[in-house]
Amino acid sequence: MKTILILNGPNLNLLGKRQPHIYGHQTLDDVERLCQSVCPDGFQISLKQSNHEGQLIDWIHEARETTCGIVINPGALTHTSIALLDALNTYEPPVVEVHISQVHKREAFRHHSYVSLRADGVIAGLGLDGYAAGVRRVVALSVGQ
Ligand code: DQA
């Protein structure tokens, strides 16, 4: 069984409660159910969230040995964290970056992403469907499509 890590950064634990006009009313549990529903036979998902940069980095290091791809919504660390970029650069399998909101329509500081320097795909503004698209893309890349 191949495992896809769905990694979520700061404040995404509050999904559904936090600024619902931007991020919607659905929760991280809904993200998990959605990702599971698009996961084909032979693949499973493992969803994690942390508000701490170092924890996210430790999980990426662990994922090097245990997973076939990462779908990551780094939250605001997208725009600030070279350390997260460096961690992702140690990771060989596919990485897809997801943003629930259309970051390019928002404040200028959200337009730059360090993570995009590593990501094999970037999805923004599709709401939670972006996670499902990310899982599909990781699956496609990991079976060589
Ligand atoms: C986000 C966009 C980021 O700019 C923001 O800091 C988040 C969520 C998104 O999913 O749209 O926390 O990554």
Domain count, the chain: 1
Q: From atom 12 of ligand 1, which residue's Cα is the shortest distance away?
A: 75
Question: What is the domain-level CATH number for residue 44?
Answer: 3.40.50.9100
Q: Which of 52, 79, 91, 99 is catalytic?
A: 99
Q: Quote the pLDDT of residue 144.
A: 87
> Among positive and negative, which fits the CA dihedral 75, 109, 54, 117?
positive
56 CA to centre of ligand 1 in angstroms? 15
99 is catalytic: yes
Residue of 76, 74, 123 whose CA lies nearest to 98 = 123
Residue of 32, 34, 6, 23 whose CA lies nearest to 132 = 34
Q: Quote the pLDDT of residue 145.
A: 72
Establish whether residue 13 lines the binding site of ligand 1, counting it when its CB lies within 6 angstroms of any ligand atom: no
State the residue range of the domain holding 93. 2-143
Q: What string of pLDDT tens digits covers the 145 residues of the chain?
A: 999 999 999 999 999 999 999 999 999 999 999 999 999 999 999 999 999 999 999 999 999 999 999 999 999 999 999 999 999 999 999 999 999 999 999 999 999 999 999 999 999 999 999 999 999 999 999 998 7
23 is catalytic: yes
